[in-house]
Structure 1
Amino acid sequence: MGAPVLLLALVAVAAALGCASAEPPQQERSALQAFLAGTPHERALGWNASVPACAWTGVRCDAANATVVELHLPGVGLIGGVPQGTLGGLRGLQVLSLRDNRLLGDIPRDLFVLPRLRSLYLQGNLLTGVIPDEVGRLAASLEHLALSRNNLTGDVPSALNNLTRLRSLRLDGNRLSGSLPSLSSVRRLEVFNVADNDLNGSIPSSLARFPPESFAGNVHLCGPPLVDQPCQAVPSPAPSPPGVLVPSSKKKRKLSGAAVVAIAVGAGAAALLALVLLALCAVHRHRRGASGEEDVKTTPPTRGLTPSTLSEEMTGGDFTSSSKDIGAAAAAAGGGAERSRLVFVGKQGPGHHHYSFDLEDLLRASAEVLGKGSLGTSYKAVLEEGTTVVVKRLRDVAAARREFGACVEAAAGAAAEHRNLVPLRGYYYSKDEKLLVVDYLPGGSLSARLHGSRGTGRTPMDWEARMRAALCAARGVAHLHTAHSLAHGNIKSSNLLLRPDPDAAALSDYCLHQLFAPSPARPGGSGGGYRAPELVDARRPTFRSDVYSLGVLLLELLTGKSPAHHASLEGGDGAVDLPRWVQSVVREEWTAEVFDAELVRTGGGAEEEMVALLQVAMACVSTAPDARPDAPDVVRMIEEIAGGHGRTATEESEGTRGASDEERSRGPTP
């Protein structure tokens, strides 16, 4: 019996080795190499010819390693056009993600001959030209198409009607024009967005089921669901009375002598009236100039006031130097040709806090500096009516007005749905100054609570408070990722603001990264101690880089050490960041040395929970992005550790409807 068993074992081993050594066809390997050789890229991808193609960064094959089925290269610094005739050779490709790079030129036509392509993600590039009609060739397979945040022009092609399997279509943030096709054949469509284009005409009834945000920023679109932009009925010409002949365009009717005289008299009276009005205006202006009165042009308010010359108001009220800073920020552009106003965003209706102040009220407010951060300077402004808000004076903004407004609107909409995000209320945009208005939370930041003076009289932050803070941060991030497909981009303890309700701590400064000028970082650079090592440009964070930053914040809660100052506190040369220090301590089995002494002293026997949270944090700060858990998984793990601490997440840890598989969980692979 021994020989047959041994023979079967050898056959099984040989079969396993055969599968392990299987490779896609040479045509696919050559297509990948031609794509990489023809597309400049800022980061080395490690596509080594001596390594099987299925092990290359971003390349995923089927179970038998017989064909390439997925190619994920988001945010890796691809520059220029995609060479034609390269990716079209991947005949088994099902998922292609080249989002958040700097790809130029037309959408590659050979992508539309891939017979099994299910998901195509090209958003966040610099693509130009039209959406080709060839997209209709993918009718048998395509489910997700994302072309948003490019420079595409032309019509939304009616060929999209052929894509009957399509579940999500994102075309927002382009320069598309013309009317919308009905897409009545695309009955599976769950996510649809054409916001911030130049579309016109009425919205087809088949698309009216999508929210108004899906069509916002198209001033010439009308009809439901855009209740503020109803379509105007075109009046039909009045019928001619019976027996009256309407003259054709070829026949001209002569005016009677009486009509000519009447027209001449009317024209003369109008000219005389105009001369009288001009004379009156000149006399009035002369009198005002003689009395020293300024000629100030005013504009009636809409949702906010247009700032005029506000120097008198800036000096007439009760101002600190901070108030003058805010006044200077908004008034700097007020006297020029560009007229701006304070724009309120988010939900302002019943059940939501409603602000009724305008820009002049804001400029008259008493203010003090709260601090200077990576986005700019923050001021606490107390309005005359008693309302307190925070005004952020942004610096190095590179976004145009429309992009700025759309970004702030999207962030405000996400925050309005979740209490673990600080509400964003309004903005001011002019050529020289950009302001954000957010809610004021008097509890201070997690950073101040953790790293403030530890002298007598200070209330230590115990284990339960730290667990609740961890849950709040994770839930806020998970909501952005799953419900809105947005990356936070700036997670750190100074951006987690505390409230009296310990379950309602809220993240601030979220989803604003794309507004600023590029800020290149060294691969592996610290970025204040929170930045993921693979993140090259701070303007292009990913879900995976967010999870890394969240993991650093968890380590900060556990160790009591500031990531930004850890190296100097440890007496090092700045080469050891907080995650690597924790790894080195845990590797030497000195786990107890990791935890904050104040936490251990007040922990009340929660050592097992501390170790469990440490394991979650270490998974989040894994060097390989694909090894990090998704934000909803982090929420679930923290809730399991916390037990009775804080309420159980509902929609915070779920809510994945409407976000595609790529946009929910993928980040760039290192």
Structure 2
Amino acid sequence: MRRAPGAGGGVSLARLAAALCCAALALALAPRAAADLAADRAALLAFRAAVGPRLPWDASAASPCGWRGVGCDAAGARVVALKLPGASLAGAVPPGTLGNLTALRTLSLRLNALSGGIPADIGACAELRYLYLRGNRLEGGIPEGFFGLSLLQRLDLSGNRISGGVSPEFNKLARLATLYLENNRLNGTLPSGLDLPKLQLFNMSDNGNLTGPVPASLARMPASAFARTALCGGPLSPCTTPTPTPPSPSPPLSPPPPPAPANGSKSGKLSTGAIAGIAAGAAVAFLVSIGVIFFLCCSRCRRRKADRSAGMAADADANGSPISVTVASMDKSATKRSSHAQAAGNAKKLVFLGAAPDTPYDLESLLHSSAEVIGKGWLGTTYRATLEGGAATVAVKRLRSAPIPEREFRDRVAALDALRHENLVPLRAYFYSRDEKLLVYDFVGAGSLCALLHGSGGGASPARLDFTSRARIALAAARGVAFVHGAGARSCHGNIKSSNVLVTGARDGACVTDHGLVQLVGAHVPLKRVTGYRAPEVTDPRRASQEADVYSFGVLLLELLTGKPPVNSLPGSGDGGVDLPRWVRTVVQEEWTAEVFDASIAVEERFDEEMMRLLQLATECAEDRPDRRPPMAEVAARIEHIVDSALRKTDTDDDFHSISP
């Protein structure tokens, strides 16, 4: 059946016209797109010539989309990302470079040596959402054009030399969710009307010249966000407003004042009163000092007397420590309550700290259990023991032979038992004899972090640990060590290493073990070879310190991020490991920071920011000078922020960032 020629021809002509229009439009837009990409390419080459001559960019390539650190949109028509963290960039960024990348959405130039001011034409990048300039040498104020970036969501200017005040123009950045301005030279007061409704992460610490009250909109932020500033109010201590003195009314007609005394004081009566007050205060202070000295002397005498009595009682085996324990002996299946001194009377007893276990066992059943070596160190050997019938699995630490008196051993074990925290492996029991000393702990989860990162001695290959798992393990370990440090000024771990971090079965947390063993038996055991965890100021690892713990923990973080073992850290390893702090500094200074990371996490580009922040923290912990290392409480808090940021990105399942434009 034939169609009418008029109808069919009309449809064909309409389709042809539409196709011609589309082709014409494409031809019209193609030169513009090519011109925009060419302009981006020229801006990038000018940027490289100014601050990054070592960037391995092929200048002969027509498109910059394949250059390292450069990202383009799906059509390959515009540059939308420039990520060059730790790329050895140096010098001032000239105008007409970054400002010409008008389609840019992500700009990351962290941990370089950029100097001068923030580019004044950065405001031309109207599509910019993520800007990271942390850890450079930028100085001067924030340019006015900067506040035209209305789509900006994350801003990190920390670790520079930026000066001037905090402008109320920040209110124009209404979508800002992250604002890091710490460790700069900001001054003045914060605008009282500062209001960033979507702000989630904020830090303005280490700006010592900031004064005045914290704005009401920032009062919900933690106090650490304002540390080492002169700010007040909000999460900080209340502001003290001096009460103005009202002016005294002038008498209508008063005689002229008498001439001032020759000694320069305001009046003879005032001088006498001041002297009397000073004398009275000195007398009171003297009496108080005498009373305090008398009280201290009496207290010291009482303590010495009590110590002598306790020592005599212990020597006579009459009265032991009042700490209550449970004793399991070889010849009795039942348990009984006793004191430490009673437990010492029988060399064949296992002493449980606190209540007896749910499934009772004694020393004989422990010694006849199925056991395997899971760790060796200079303080002893650790076994995994499975009791008969699989009733329980425990970790048994067999300490190196040490001539430590029993009373001293008991007291120190009691001190270790007092350290109870969810991220410390709990000590359950101990055994003491002249030739054998055992500590019994709970057995934790998936094994040691060392075995997961580097494989076990039995030939098992390393486990697959993504960045979020590693960060959560680091957080758990940091909390455990921080708790130990919080027990006292001299309380420390003394032997931080990956084999002493036991990972949970779900691989999302960890517990720290061997805490305090240096104080328990360290003074009685010989020195071992130096490992890469030891702080440079430590000549005798038996004399531990909190600062040395922080250094060791920094090396542990570097081990987590790089996947490389420190020097002399793997038993039986032929390669000897790596001096991690020195190697990382060399790579950051001379090569590409991205090459620091373990290959299994380097591909997780959406956590690029969190990896860099954790790397920065690790290098701060591993500083050569102890006074430059942060305290463990601060380390744990900073890792917590990193973990929170990573988890938000995981929950939203975004390719690179947690907040959608």
Per the normalisation by structure 2, the TM-score is 0.46
Rg bigger for which structure? 2
